Amino acid sequence: QVQFVESGGGSVQPGGSLRLSCAASGFTFSSLAMSWYRQAPGKERELVASITSDGTYRNYADSVKGRFSISRDNVKNTVYLQMNSLKPGDTAVYYCNGRYWSQYDYWGQGTQVTVSS
């Protein structure tokens, strides 16, 4: 059974920082392209950041460029999302996602991030 265990969510004030972690098991982690998605109440789920299986290439949503950074450690089987300069608009449930081309698609349970003063 494939499992993603997320941690690092919480509540912070605007301008603060959080680091989300997603630890994977049950699959060859180094073969997965990893992404972070988020979904706020009443809004569609959106892609926040993605990283290739070897960590060579990264992509970000325009709304988080320059503030968020995705990284991975294929020894620890973990993907991270460093979030700086957080804004109230970043408030959402954040989900870890792993894909192997079009054959497999796995999701974490989600973790709440709340940014408010």
Alpha-carbon distance of 18 to 41, in angstroms, equals 20
φ/ψ of 31, rounded to 5, equals: -90, -5
**Does position 27 have pLDDT exceeding 90, yes or no?**
no
- Please report the pLDDT score of residue 78 as a whole number: 97
Kindly report, residue by residue over 43-97, the tens digit of the pLDDT: 999 999 999 999 999 999 999 999 999 999 999 999 999 999 999 999 999 999 9
- Please report the pLDDT score of residue 1 as a whole number: 83
- Please report the pLDDT score of residue 53 as a whole number: 95
- Please report the pLDDT score of residue 20 as a whole number: 98
- Please report the pLDDT score of residue 54 as a whole number: 94
Kindly report, residue by residue over 96-114, the tens digit of the pLDDT: 999 998 889 999 999 999 9
| Cα 17 from chain centre | 14
Measured from the Cβ of residue 99, the count of other Cβ atoms closer than 10 Å reads 16
